[in-house]
Amino acid sequence: MVSLASGSSPVLMDPPCSLPELCEQYRRHAMRVRSVCKDTAHEELLYLNRFFLDFGPSETPAALFSSLSPPRLSAFLIKYADTHGIGSRRWMQHSLRSFLHFAHERSYLDRDLTALVPSVRRPRMGRVPRCLPDECIAALQAGIERNTARGLRDSAIVSLLSTYGVRGVQIRRLRLDHLDWPGSRIHFPAAKGGRCINQHLTPDVGNRLADYIARGRPDCCHPEVFLTLAEPFRPLPCASHLSAILRRCMKRLGVRTPDGVSRGSHGFRHAFATRMITRTSFKTLVDLLGHRDPNSTLVYGKISVGDLKSAALPWPGGGQ
C-alpha cells in the first residue's frame, strides 16, 4: 500500500479478491454516488482496464494498490499521452481521478492521489470543429454492400449519421418503437443533457432501415434497432464499438480521412452542422443538434468563413 510520509497510517481495508469484483464495485459506486449513467460507467471501466493492464493482466487488486505509487502513476500517464490523442487522454485522466478517489474513500489507499492526475483542458471555443469531408461520406454511403447482415446494418448506421447528425449514443439507443412508419417520423432520445430530436424519416434512410430490419437484424427480444452480429445478440454496447464499425467500413473501402478528423460518429455530426450552418437559422440548428444550451452550437459559427468576413467591420482609417 502507499504509505504516508509522516504520522500514523490509517487503517486500510482489504480490496476485493479479483479485478472483475473491483470493477463491479466501482461501477455500482459510480452510478449510485456520482449518479453517472450506465454507459458512462461502462466507458470509464474500458479506460481503467487499460490502466490495470499496465500493471500486468493477472494482477490482483491487493497487488495493484500495493504497487501504486506517485512515480508509477506519473510514468503511466506520460506513456499514455505519447500514444493517444486528446480525447482518449481526457477520458483516461477523468476515469483515473474518479477511481483513485473511490479507492481512497473505500480505504484501499491511505491517501487521495487524484491531485497527481491533471485535467486535460481545452477551451470550448478554442478550435474549429473538423468534419468528415462530403466525399468521404458519399463514398461510404455508395460503397457499403447491402447483401449481408453486416452491410445492411452498417449502411443504415452511416445513413442515419450523415442525414441527421445525431450522436453515436442516440444511434445505439434507437429503438424499434422510435420509428413511426405511418407518419414517416423518427425519434432520437435525448443524450448528454440535451433535448430529444424528432425528424422527418427520409426515403433513403427509411429504405435502408427497412432493409436492415427485414433482412439483416436478428430476431430477438431487444427493442434496440442496431444489434451485434454474433450470438448472443445484444445492443451495441459502447461508443468504441460503434467507432470500430465505422473505422472498419472506412478501411474496407479505402476511405482516407484528413488528419485530426474523427473517424467516429462525431465526424459525421460536425459535417452535418457544417452543411446546415448556412442553410438554416441558428435556432433551428440548435434544435436539429439537440442542444439545450445554444452556447454549445456557437462553435459551429466559426465554420462559415464567408459569413464571418461579411460580418467584420471595416478598420478605421483602412483602405476601401
* Most confident among 24-38, 80-94, 121-135 (mean pLDDT): 24-38
Q: Is the peptide bond before 129 cis (omega within 30 degrees of 0)?
A: no
Locate CATH 1.10.443.10 in the chain: 134-303
The reply to whether 302 belongs to the active site is no
In a 10 Å sphere around its CB, with 0-12 CB exposed, 13-18 middle and 19+ buried, how is residue 230 labelled? exposed
pLDDT band at 289 (very low <50, low <70, confident <90, very high): confident
Max mean pLDDT range (9-13, 239-243, 316-320): 239-243
Closest to 108 (Cα-Cα) out of 35, 16, 219 = 16
- Copy the grid coordinates of residue 273: 452542422
Q: Whose CA is closest to 108, among 72, 67, 55? A: 67
Q: What is the pLDDT of residue 126?
A: 52
* Active-site residue flag, 252: no
Mean pLDDT for the stretch of residues 290-313: 65
The grid cell for 317 is 482609417
Higher pLDDT, 72 or 87: 72
Cβ atoms of 204 and 163 within 8 Å: the answer is yes
Which cell numbers hold the place of 143?
460503397
Q: How far apart are CA 296 and CA 192, in angstroms?
A: 12
Which pLDDT value is given to residue 161?
Answer: 93
Superfamily of domain 134-303: Intergrase catalytic core (1.10.443.10)
Which one, of 186, 183, 180, lies nearest residue 161 by Cα? 186
Kindly tell me if the per-residue pLDDT of 147 is higher than 70: yes
Residue from 153, 217, 266, 270 carrying the catalytic annotation: 266
pLDDT at position 6: 45
Of 67-81, 273-287, 302-316, which range is least confident?
A: 302-316
Catalytic-role residue among 172, 263, 269, 270: 269
Q: Where in the chain is the domain with CATH 1.10.150?
A: 19-116
Our answer to whether residue 309 is catalytic in this structure is: no
The predicted pLDDT at position 26 comes to 94
Indicate whether 134 pLDDT > 80. yes
Give whole-number Cα distances, 165 to 2, 59, 189, 269, 281, in Å. 47, 42, 13, 4, 16
Whether 150 is catalytic: no
| 72 noted as active-site residue | no
Higher pLDDT, 129 or 175: 175
Nearest to 155 by CA among 224, 226, 236: 226
C-alpha grid cell, residue 127: 478550435
Task: Check whether 272 has a pLDDT greater than 70.
Answer: yes
Mean pLDDT of 224-241: 90
Q: Tell me: pLDDT of 24 over 90.
A: yes
Please, which residues have CB within 8 angstroms of residue 181's CB and are 6 or more apart in sequence?
201, 206
Checking if the pLDDT of 128 tops 80, the result is no
Q: Is the pLDDT of residue 303 over 60?
A: no
- Tell me the pLDDT band of 148, cut-offs 50, 70 and 90: very high
Rounded CA-CA distance 269/129 in Å is 10
**Which class would CATH give 19-116?**
mainly alpha
H-type alpha helices, 54-148: 61-67, 70-83, 86-105, 134-143
* Catalytic residue (choose from 192, 200, 248, 292): 192
Q: Given pLDDT bands bounded at 50, 70 and 90, which one contains residue 4?
A: very low
Is residue 130 annotated as part of the catalytic site, yes or no? Answer: no
* 151 pLDDT above the threshold of 70: yes
CA dist 91 and 273 (Å) reads 24
Residue type, 293: D
Distance from C-alpha of 10 to C-alpha of 319, rounded to nearest angstrom? 73
pLDDT at 7 over 90: no
Handedness of CA 251, 257, 260, 265 (dihedral sign): negative
